[in-house]
Structure 1
Amino acid sequence: MKPMTRRSCALLLGMALAGCSSTPSPSPAVAHMIEPQRVTEHRGNDDLLTAGLGIDGLRGMAPPAFADAANPTAAELRRRAIWSNWRGIADLSPTGAYGQAYGSVASVPGREYSALARVPGAQQPHRVLVQVPDNFDTARRCVVVTASSGSRGVYGAIAVAGPWALPKGCAVAYTDKGAGTDYFDLDAQQAAREDGTVGTLEAGGLAFMPDAPVGASGVAVKHAHSKDNPEADWGRHVKQAAEFALAALDRAYPQAAPFRFDNTRVIAVGISNGGGAVLRASEEEGDWLDAVVAGEPNILAADAPGARPLYDYTTEAALLMPCALLHLPADTLPQPPLRAQVEPLWTARCAALKTAGLVAGDTPKAQAASAHAQLKAQGWTDQALVAGALSVGFDLWRAVAVTYASAYGRYGVGEHPCGHAFAAQNADFSSRAATAAERAAWWSDGSGIPPGAGVGIVDTKLAPPDFTLPGLQCLRALQSGNDEHARRVQAGIAQTAARFPRTRRPVVVIHGLDDGLVPPAFSSAPYVEQARIANPDVRYWQVRNAQHFDGFLALPAYGARYVPLLPYVYAALDQVEATLDGKRALPANALIDARPRGAGSVEAAQLAIPR
């Protein structure tokens, strides 16, 4: 069938490269590749860091309301996106002591500059946004560039970079690194515009316009359907966001222009996928980046001992971990939501794996022991398995595998080799058209990877008795197989492997030893070992009793057992800043013996932050 025409591609590319402002362009000598397309003011009860919500508003269980659910304003969408991303990244529970023991929710007035940018060769743009606080010091020019964790939208790292940078007068440059929450409704032919509000394909100006067959139904997800394999370009996304920050500062302070890399300090920080992105950014050519802080990074150090691609251990965990968890004593596992309901499903997985010849044993106990032994043999620690129970409980392994398989293979809508797709769903998981209210909230509420925000995974291979197992086996075969689709996905994975920079700069990598989503044994540990050969200034902080999701520490069983990781990210930023200022030596490597809060509240002393 005839592909859908992306009518506004030429216009969108022109906007990304030249800007669409009535403000006169800078002189050619200081022209930037990307110019701001939109500038907004944020003061009073609508600041940069919390959109006026403060700690109490961020802790609210209900999201900030829309006056008209089907037609929210850009300001309402921004406030809700900031609320959603804070809650997804930070532990804001009263016992978590955010803003007291560590972090900041200060009201920071200023301006935001945003645009849709495009790295060379990409089919789709990525979002870039720069927050410039009113207290920005032109005599001490500072930009903190960051990338969203997971596949989140452009505010996805606001809790990572903003609390450290904005109160002290640094600008913050954000990128969604080619993923994000710009879902496209294939039925209504509508999606988010640059300001987050919904627009139509005919009107143009959309942030994501997929190639799709005429008559395609459901939802196109940017990370899965851009055909760009965005992970391969994460470093370039970060550098381009930093370049955009210089353009925004030229606009904000023309009397102090030009802002260049040789007169503006740039520090990169990120966690999870954002952590991997800032490490990849350090590979980019030029003396543009002064320091890097990467927390729990999803990073592949190709050919390094122990290094494994995310897709490899994700599909392995999706298959085996539900069964393997039954081998661990129940009292060693934090109780994920609906634990009583999921344990029978774990037992059923063991039986299905036995039937498929993937585990040994004639009883659930023996089958669980077999699955556990296989994971241990592949490098999983019991600490990672215990924390991984949360990803099993929320079906996160399958969600990641579905999206990343499509991205690595550069598959478009309707092309997924395992038949997976995305759509709004009824209670029985059958597909339906999205409502106007659902569509309007995708940009602010989504995480970038369904299920969530009213969009679910369509699995055409569902079959009893273990309904998702056939699809998971197909996804796993893309990693382990040798057919055309497997080779295509594996080639995409190979494109994400890290190269190691020759430029010496302070780099601090931080990882929780209990991380069950991105285990350090597969990611940061082999990366650091190899990166130090190229850059001896790489430092490694390993944190005991820290797992991957600070946001889930609001669950009592997790908050009592684990410490947050964000305090160490902020502390590392403090230390690399002091190093750049000549006030201290490089941070030291550290094995940090942090103590969980138990039934009490977080106290700074429990964190044992290196000084």
Structure 2
Amino acid sequence: MSRIFPLAVVAAFSFGVLSCATAPATRKGSMSAPDHFGDVRVTEHRHGDDLLSAGLGLRGLAGMPSAFANPSAPTPAELRRRAIQSSWKGIADLGPLGGFGTVYGAVPAVPGREFTAFATLPGAHAPHRVLVQVPDDFDRTRRCLVVTASSGSRGIYGAIALAGGWGLPRGCAVAYTDKGTGAGYFDTAEGTGVRLDGTRAKAGEAPLEFEPVGVAADAGIAVKHAHSGDNPEADWGRHVLQAARFGLAMLDRAFPNEAPFTPANTRIIATGLSNGGGAVLRAAGDDSEGILAAVVALEPNIHVAGRGRPFYDYATEAALLLPCALAAPEFDGVPFARVAHVAPPAWAIRCASLRAHGRLSAVMPGAQAAEALAMLRASGWQDDALAVAASSTSLDLWRAVTAAYASAYLKRPAGAMPCGFSYRAQIAGIATGVDAAIRAAWWSDGSGVPPGAGVVLAGGTDFSPDPALPGNLCLRELWTGQGDDARRLRDAVDATAAALPRVDLPILVVHGAQDGLIPVAFSSDPYVKWLRASGRSPVFWKVPYAQHFDAFLAFPDFGDRHAPLLPFGYVALDRAWAHLADGRPLPEDAAVRDTRPRGAGALDAAMLALPER
């Protein structure tokens, strides 16, 4: 069942977070600026449906993609079920060896209601989604609201495996924000985007998640993160705090006899992983009103001005140099490092290309690989991170992500992305119109950054033996160069730097020691050192053998070498809650020293050596 409530009829509570859509905004960046929400859609999820798995349960979440009765016109309920499933599978290792549901975690049925709306930050061009899940067994005696932001560039359910998986079974409400990302893709040729319920509509027929203005019909697929005209990453903290205020407002709506819900009577824990982890740490620095009670960040993409390195810097460097460095003997036997039966091998081609462009001085392939590896080490890359970064290199992830980020930083529309990139529908390398069934599933299946779900990253290539090199060189030049675009991009990255949180805010940071996408040496290490040098006392768990993608642990050989990170996130949330609700002391940093890799068999609790709950 679903109902639409104009936000004007949702009573504002004493904390003063709600305003009508026409309320004037105060200065951009002010935490007291009024929030702008569209109509609120309310859906009920019971009797074979639920909040945590849409009725699929653990076995269903791990299985084949949830089916659509009519693939070209799925219902809102079908789209929601598949979006929840794809979000779980993108974050958690649900495979038979991974231990989810036996060693840690569970997916019980959690009936309740969802409240969702399009929201806009003051000064932003494009809306984004906010969503609150309120379980029927919400604990009214120990009021708890978990607020989270999607990992990567995922849609609104992108953090359900962490925030929902921990909070909903404990009687907490969970507030989500997509932080200006998500898979509400706009097809410029057809002129359609995504409604609030996940179905597609023509521009002008209904409010859409993303509706670019003035874009040409041949511009390809418009993606909110890359093409909104905003720099959403600069506002990640504001997105999280806005979602927290929306969550309190929706608790007022859900339980009017017990309103108001405020930070004074409802404990608010912010948690997220990857980009979502960076977002909640950014919220900690932006929280001038004291909304948050604690923050738990997993593998955060966090940047501190003058410390560490921002993601765009080291990702564009990795995209250029790692394909060559992987030929070095240090990567023999490393999963994903070599692609068999490719002649000539891709790493040798990249080495030769880099020498031809004056990036390497060595003549022989072996010496070129050693030189590329030495350059990476000299810029701060550690060997454990480099070995795991081979997976991102083999999947061409560096180029895909930085192309989107460059477009966002430079505020480029679809059809005018930097370095000649665009997003297109292609079949067997031939540009084509979008199949109706593929387009209908974008919202549930898309990651927020193509390629994927029938959309490819086009352009930035040539017909040489190393076709991706021109785009990678161009993206790197936007960081290292001196042109106007390079200066604008670096200014946009500077706007994403974290601010210091208040002194008494409990902060727990959990990061894999072998993270190859967001290396701990560039992100959490400098962030934690900065906090401590500034009089803060964060808890920092650097988890041995953990890397960035728990979902990759289902791959043979890869999972044998690593440990999952998600269970440590659950325990960190347990400890944060015990500190807030029961006055228990926060844990020590050294609590995760004894973790071991899973090995060839199934995960068991002894391998994790989880800290005491």
Q: What's the TM-score once normalised by structure 2's chain length?
A: 0.93
Provide the residue aligned with 1:13 in structure 2.
Answer: none
Q: What does residue 195 of structure 1 align with?
A: 197
Quick one: distance in 2 between partners of 1:342 and 1:543?
Answer: 38
Q: Which residue identity lines up with residue 351 of structure 1 in the other structure?
A: A
Are the aligned partners of 1:425 and 1:456 in contact in 2 as well (CA < 8 Å)?
Answer: yes
Cross-structure match for 1:14: none
1:610 paired residue number: 611
Query: Closer, same or farther in 2 for the Cα pair 1:593/1:358, shift >3 Å?
Result: farther
1:45 to 48, 51, 56: 48
Indicate if the aligned counterparts of 1:144 and 1:165 stay in contact, CA closer than 8 A.
Answer: yes
Contact kept? 1:218, 1:431, Cα under 8 Å: no
User: 1:498 corresponds to which residue?
Assistant: 498
**Structure 1: 5+ residue runs without aligned partners?**
1-18
C-alpha distance in 1, partners of 2:341/2:148?
A: 39
| Corresponding residue for residue 88 of structure 2 | 86
Q: Distance in 2 between matches of 1:380 and 1:449?
A: 25
How many angstroms does 1:587 deviate by? Answer: 1.5
Q: Partner residue of 1:172?
A: 174
Q: In the alignment, residue 21 of structure 1 is paired with which amino acid?
A: P
Displacement of 1:156: 0.2
Report how far residue 100 of structure 1 moved: 1.2
2:120 aligned residue? 118
The one-letter code of the counterpart of 1:554 is: A
The AA in structure 2 aligned to 1:497 is A
Task: Give percent identity, aligned residues only.
Answer: 54
1:275-319 Cα offsets, whole Å, 9 max, x none, are 000000001211110000001000001112xx1010000000000
Partner of 2:153: 151
User: Is residue 346 of structure 2 the alignment partner of residue 345 of structure 1?
Assistant: yes
* SS across alignment from 1:115: strand
| 1:322 Cα deviation from its structure 2 partner | 0.8
TM-score of the pair, normalised by structure 1: 0.94
Contact 2:563 2:596 (8 Å CA) reproduced: yes
2:13–2:261: 8 Å Cα contact kept in structure 1?
no
Query: Partner of 2:420 in structure 1?
Result: 419
Q: What are structure 2's unaligned runs of at least 5 residues?
A: 20-36
For residues 312-341 of structure 1, give each alpha carbon's deviation from its aligned partner in whole angstroms, at most 9, with x where no partner exists. 000000000011111134544024695544
Partner in structure 1 of residue 301 of structure 2: 298
Counterpart AA for 2:398: W
Alpha-carbon offset, residue 534 of structure 1:
3.8
Matches within 5 A, 1:301-312: 301-304=304-307, 307-312=308-313
Q: Which moved more, 1:512-521 or 1:203-212?
A: 203-212
- Measure how far apart 1:365 and its partner are: 1.0
Q: Which residue of 1 aligns with 2:185?
A: 183
- 8 A Cα contact 1:36 1:248, kept in partner: no
Q: What corresponds to 2:22 in structure 1?
A: none
Q: Secondary structure at the match of 1:95?
A: coil
Query: Is 1:21 matched up with 2:6?
Result: yes
One-letter code aligned to 1:117: A
After superposition, the C-alpha distances for 1:191-214 in whole angstroms (9 at most, x for unaligned) are 111111001103131110113433
1:290 aligned partner, one-letter code: A
In structure 1, the partner of 2:523 is 523
Matching residue within 252, 255, 258 for 2:257: 255
CA contact (8 A) 2:319 2:393 kept: yes
Distance in structure 2 (CA, Å) of the matches to 1:193 and 1:462: 37
Superposed CA deviations along residues 485-536 of structure 1, whole A, max 9, x for unmatched, are 1111111111001111234111010111111000011011001111223452
CA distance in 2, matches of 1:166, 1:320: 43
Q: Which secondary structure does the structure 2 equivalent of 1:540 belong to? A: strand
2:544 counterpart of 1:557: no
Counterpart residue number, 2:283: 281
Deviation at 1:582, TM superposition (A): 3.5
The aligned residue for residue 10 of structure 1 is none
2:508 matched residue in structure 1: 508
| Range with bigger deviation, 103-112 or 21-30 | 21-30
Q: Post-superposition shift, 1:580? A: 1.0
| Structure-2 separation of matches of 1:154 and 1:265 | 22
C-alpha spacing 1:27/1:571, structure 2 compared with 1 (3 Å): closer
Contact 1:537–1:586 under 8 Å retained in 2: no
Q: Secondary structure at the match of 1:531?
A: helix
Q: What secondary structure, in the 3-state scheme, does the structure 1 residue paired with 2:327 have?
A: helix
Against the structure 1 CA distance between its residues 251 and 345, is the aligned structure 2 distance closer, same or farther, given a 3 Å change threshold? Answer: same
Q: Secondary structure at the match of 1:569?
A: helix
Q: Does 1:139 align with 2:141?
A: yes
Q: For residues 442-463 of structure 1, what are the alpha-carbon distances to aligned partners after superposition, in whole Å with 9 as ceiling and x for unaligned?
A: 1000001110000001114423
Q: Give the SS at the match of 1:99.
A: coil
In the alignment, the residues of structure 1 paired with residue 485 and residue 8 of structure 2 have an alpha-carbon distance, to the nearest angstrom, of 48
User: Relative to 1, partners in 2 of residues 1:343 and 1:379: Cα closer, same or farther, differing over 3 Å?
Assistant: farther
Q: Residues of 2 paired with 1:459 and 1:575: CA distance? A: 48
Contact 1:37–1:113 at 8 Å: present in 2 too? yes
1:216 aligns with 2:218: yes
Larger CA deviation: 473-482 vs 50-59 = 50-59
Paired with 1:220 and 1:54, the residues of 2 have a C-alpha distance of 34
**Contact 1:272 1:295 (8 Å CA) reproduced:** yes
Q: Which moved more, 1:202-211 or 1:220-229?
A: 202-211
Q: Which position in structure 2 is the counterpart of 1:440? A: 440
**Per-residue deviation at 1:162?**
1.0
| Alpha-carbon distance between aligned partners in 1 of 2:55 and 2:321, rounded to the nearest angstrom | 44
Q: CA deviation at 1:426?
A: 2.2
Kindly state the Cα deviation for residue 29 of structure 1 after the two structures are TM-superposed.
4.9
Distance 1:115 1:341, change over 3 A: farther
> Taking structure 1 as reference, are residues 382 and 40 closer, same or farther at Cα in structure 2, changes over 3 Å only?
same
CA distance in 1, matches of 2:164, 2:418: 39
Aligned partner of 1:301: which letter? V
Distance 1:515 1:300 in 2: 16
Q: Secondary structure at the match of 2:125?
A: coil
Q: How does 1:370-381 map to 2 (within 5 A)?
A: 370-381=371-382
| Pairs within 5 Å for 1:229-244 | 229-244=231-246
- Cα distance in 2 between the residues matched to 1:343 and 1:276: 40
Which region of structure 1 is more displaced relative to structure 2, 74-83 or 579-588? 579-588
